[in-house]
């Protein structure tokens, strides 16, 4: 998704802006640009493509040496990724220059109003409307103009503005898109996310919706949308910038796959003590847990797959009815929420627009909201009643791995905590399960050793046109994730099916040689899944079976068997996902794909 950076200080702005944009690359983008005060005006350099393309363009134009500037990486929403549509955009013939992240919903009506007033547009973007609108209201006072813009536009934005006649200021504001201010010594920074400024400062201000920041070299002032000055506390970043770097691995995704034992351990261990599960962040009393009518889970993408697994887990462990929705569907289907229901929101970034909207919908309807989020102080985290952080650390690869595993870990904790509260888990059983939970990181680490086998398998299957994943119950939930990982990064068409559903249509797509990955680790359903394996094998499929336990009979019907250690059924998704991630990774490598930045995808999707 779009990334914003800004700098005001004594040093040359463009190196910081480029460096900051690179740190935001993980958000996904298709064009990039900078604007810097230079020789009495604002000079803009922008291009479609990667930041390297922008650097090339900068090298071939007059050097940008100014000490105040803004930068942007754009992920196209209105208009194709072109030079003209790239940010920054200007209004009033260069009087105003701005960058924006988000969507201006009423841009069409605003555009026609501005055209009537004489503005000429050179791009197809909603952002250019914002630039002209700012100029339209700008009569020499940045704060007044920003407040008028905020009153006029509908939609989401993080925005940073330079005015040609105010070379010592940057004004910025946000609503529904993230923005932070970094405080330095005689300099200030602006960014969509903290990693962009960590090289320069650990002191940040986190802007809330409707807030405005006015940056100068030696000062920053904050205002609410009515222009009232605000006092904001500094947020001191304690985590390490190193954690966001590749650390010797070929790809961030590979590094993050390897970090899963740690991510799961860091998420579980602070919440387990003396054989008991403690979740201090959860403010539901036992009585309130017993009164839960339904758990509504909302999420997108891989986080939704965690939600799919969670449905099976909550219902079987705690006996609480659970419904898992795609956030983009939930928000528009007028969900029925009754007193006592809770809404569990799962999101790595904590910024996904659909998930945030679903959270707000659930809140509006009276649900107690609990979020499972990886990014500290992200919008979803801030707006939920309770937030349980996954301790996965920054995840850079677009395709999630370690955050997914950490989310599953939180689900286990919650399910057992609920089971205890409703009287379905004895002290003894809780203690036993805590031991098993604490063994999970080692079991995950042992599965990472399968790397060579999966690399070899990928060599054989790299030319496949279609790959199917099948499974039942929790094995189905993890099949969904295995299939998504594969298509996200290797661009191979893939589908995941509940194994019993295949025969109701999709089996017609199985041809001789079609790879079918069968996840068959739920012992209680093994015979059934084996039956489905036989069905596809009889139609010529090349079967890879994931089994736990011995199951010699499977060798007769599968071309490859992957043995996963046996664990409590509830915990199997955490183990099964590892070979599926490695398979997708090596398939993508074999096919020469950009593993960390798959085409058309964004890490943090802040539009509907
Ligand atoms: C994007 C990413 C997915 C991710 C989904 C939800 O589509 O590419 O990997 O699962 O967003 O993101 P969230 O940050 O809410 O977990």
Q: What is the pLDDT of residue 484?
A: 98
Q: What is the pLDDT of residue 104?
A: 87
Rounded to 5 degrees, φ, ψ at 197 are: -110, -5
Is 294 among the catalytic positions? Answer: no
Q: What is the pLDDT of residue 241?
A: 63
Q: What is the pLDDT of residue 79?
A: 80
605 C-alpha to center of ligand 1: Å?
7
Return d(Cα 467, Cα 445) in angstroms, integer: 26
Atom of ligand 1 nearest to the CA of 602: 8
Catalytic residue among 46, 487, 597, 603: 603
Q: What is the pLDDT of residue 240?
A: 66
Is 43 among the catalytic positions? Answer: no
Q: pLDDT tens for residues 129-183?
A: 999 999 999 999 999 999 999 999 988 899 999 999 999 999 999 998 889 999 9
Residue 205: both structure tokens together: 């201000």
Taking 3-state DSSP, the helix, strand and coil percentages for the chain, each rounded to the nearest 5, stand at 40, 25, 35
Catalytic residue among 2, 119, 300, 434: 2
Burial-class residue 265 by CB neighbours within 10 Å (0-12, 13-18, 19+). buried
Q: What is the pLDDT of residue 246?
A: 66
* Nearest Cα residue to atom 2 of ligand 1: 603
For residue 303 and ligand 1, the question of a CB distance below 6 A is answered with: yes
Q: What is the pLDDT of residue 468?
A: 96
Radius of gyration (C-alpha) of the chain in whole angstroms: 26
Q: pLDDT tens for residues 59-100?
A: 987 778 899 999 999 977 788 889 999 999 999 999 999 999
Verdict on whether the full-model pTM lies above 0.85: no
Residue 287: half-sphere exposure toward Cβ, Cα within 13 Å: 0
Low-confidence ranges of the chain (pLDDT < 50): none
Asked if 131 and 89 touch (Cβ cutoff 8 Å), the reply is yes
């Amino acid at each position: 998704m779009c990334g914003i950076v800004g700098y005001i200080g004594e040093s040359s702005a463009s190196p910081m802006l480029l460096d900051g944009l690179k740190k935001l690359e993980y958000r996904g983008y298709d064009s990039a640009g900078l604007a810097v005060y230079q020789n009495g005006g604002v000079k803009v350099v922008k291009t479609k493509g990667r930041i390297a393309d922008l650097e090339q363009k900068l090298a071939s134009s007059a050097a940008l040496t100014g000490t105040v500037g803004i930068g942007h990486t754009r992920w196209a929403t209105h208009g194709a990724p072109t030079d003209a549509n790239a940010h920054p955009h200007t209004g009033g013939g260069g009087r105003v220059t701005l960058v924006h992240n988000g969507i201006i919903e009423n841009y069409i009506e605003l555009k026609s109003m501005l055209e009537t007033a004489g503005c000429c547009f050179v791009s197809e973007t909603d952002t250019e409307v914002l630039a002209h609108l700012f100029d339209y209201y700008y009569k020499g006072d940045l704060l007044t103009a920003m407040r008028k813009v905020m009153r006029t536009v509908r939609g989401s934005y993080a925005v940073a503005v330079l005015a040609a006649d105010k070379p010592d200021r940057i004004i910025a504001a946000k609503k529904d898109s993230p923005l932070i201010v970094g405080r330095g010594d005689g300099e200030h920074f602006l960014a969509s996310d903290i990693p962009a400024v960590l090289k320069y400062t650990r002191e940040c201000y986190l802007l809330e919706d409707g807030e405005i920041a006015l940056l100068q070299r030696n000062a920053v002032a904050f205002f609410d949308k009515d222009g009232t000055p605000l006092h904001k506390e500094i947020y001191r970043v304690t985590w390490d910038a190193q954690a966001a770097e590749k650390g010797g691995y070929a790809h961030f995704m590979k590094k993050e796959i390897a970090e899963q034992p740690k991510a799961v351990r860091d998420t579980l261990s602070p919440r387990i003590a003396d054989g008991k599960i403690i979740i201090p962040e959860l403010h539901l009393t036992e009585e309130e847990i017993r009164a839960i009518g339904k758990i509504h889970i909302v999420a997108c993408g891989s986080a939704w797959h965690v939600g799919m697994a969670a449905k099976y887990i909550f219902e079987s462990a705690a006996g609480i009815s659970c419904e898992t929705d795609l956030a983009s569907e939930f928000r528009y289907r007028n969900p029925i929420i009754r007193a006592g229901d809770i809404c569990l929101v799962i999101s790595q970034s904590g910024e996904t627009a659909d998930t945030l909207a679903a959270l707000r919908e659930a809140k509006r309807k009276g649900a107690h909201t609990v979020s499972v989020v990886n990014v500290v102080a992200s919008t979803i985290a801030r707006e939920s009643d309770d937030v349980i952080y996954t301790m996965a650390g920054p995840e850079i690869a677009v395709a999630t791995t370690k955050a997914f595993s950490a989310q599953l870990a939180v689900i286990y904790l919650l399910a057992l905590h609920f089971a205890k509260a409703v009287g379905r888990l004895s002290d003894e059983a809780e203690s036993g399960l805590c031991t098993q939970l604490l063994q999970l990181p080692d079991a995950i680490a042992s599965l990472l050793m399968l790397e060579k086998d999966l690399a070899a398998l990928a060599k054989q299957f790299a030319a496949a046109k279609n790959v199917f994943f099948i499974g039942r119950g929790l094995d189905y939930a993890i099949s969904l994730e295995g299939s998504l990982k594969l298509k996200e990064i290797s661009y191979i068409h893939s589908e995941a099916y509940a194994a019993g559903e295949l025969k109701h249509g999709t089996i017609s797509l199985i041809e001789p040689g079609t790879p079918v990955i069968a996840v068959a680790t739920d012992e209680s359903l093994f015979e059934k899944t084996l039956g489905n394996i036989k069905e596809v094998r009889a139609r010529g499929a090349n079967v890879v079976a994931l089994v736990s336990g011995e199951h010699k009979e499977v060798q007769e019907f599968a071309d490859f068997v992957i043995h996963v250690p046996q664990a409590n059924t509830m915990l199997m998704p955490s183990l099964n996902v590892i070979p599926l991630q490695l398979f997708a990774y090596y398939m993508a490598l074999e096919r020469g794909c950009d593993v960390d930045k798959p085409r058309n995808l964004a890490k943090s999707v802040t539009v509907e």
